[in-house]
Amino acid sequence: MRILFVGDVVGRSGRDAIVEHLPKAIADWNIELAIVNGENAAGGFGITEAIYNDFLDAGADAVTLGNHSWNQKEALVFIERAPRLIRPINYMPGTPGRGAALIDTKRGRRALVINALGRLFMEPVDDPFAMIDREIEACPLRSGADAIVVDFHCEATSEKQGAGHFCDGRASLVVGTHTHIPTSDHQILPGGTAYMTDAGMTGDYDSIIGMNKEEPLRRFTTGIPSARFEPATGEATMSGIAVETDDATGLAIRVAPVRVGGRLERAVPTFWAKQTADA
């Protein structure tokens, strides 16, 4: 199975990048499962139903969230009628929506998608490891799902690495989100799970983690907030990770970073040579 995971979409420039680049990537690389983290898509904070539907129209099979899941209050309501919108699994009991979902891929196979929040330097939430373990045990690779993808939304790189090794051999991909900077440690772990500490953001990199530079710099240099953060509006880079799995095991056999458009150096999965020649 060919999987594309796209990192945190920030504001309008990030949304424009999804519309421009995601359908082409899916077609050129023959992607069966496309997942987009959309928790910063609406003005940099949260997601709306219209944006969620735009991502599905662009080819996303699932949309994951994070610590800004509820910044747009409509999400508390529409998430119940959005079966492919997945919020962190370790929110408190009674939180609307779902933290894991079994998704039909573009070829009719089944993929378990799990979203979880880390706890280091984050707001208090339930134990992500126990909840991820519960879902994987209930729907394991091969017998329950053809692929399993874990979006671990977390501040600390160590906790993300911990999640990768915790799931190694049991998931197709564990990928970190939240810090908005793509890491260069994409790899296949010893047990066969593809891993990347952070997929990076889909946003304007002439910014401070996707936001116009002026207000963050003002706060760094004076300690005084004077305005709200606003997303940068320059051309965005679509950042993420591409994974190919073994159909027999559901584990990864190839992995590569993805960076298309915008300011960052281009990176595409060259092992899909025929599909990337014109991408």
Query: Are 192 and 252 in contact, with CB atoms under 8 Å apart?
Result: yes
Q: What pairs with residue 103 in β-bridges? A: 111
Q: Are 152 and 176 in contact (CB under 8 A)?
A: yes
Strands 33-37 and 62-64: parallel
Neighbours of 278 (CB within 10 A): 7
Residue 30 burial by CB count (10 A; 0-12/13-18/19+): exposed, middle or buried?
middle
Q: Is 68 a catalytic residue?
A: yes
Q: If you ran DSSP here, which 8-state letter would residue 262 be given? A: S
Pick the catalytic residue from 21, 68, 178, 186. 68
Residue for token pair 């519309």:
19
Hey, which residues are catalytic here?
68
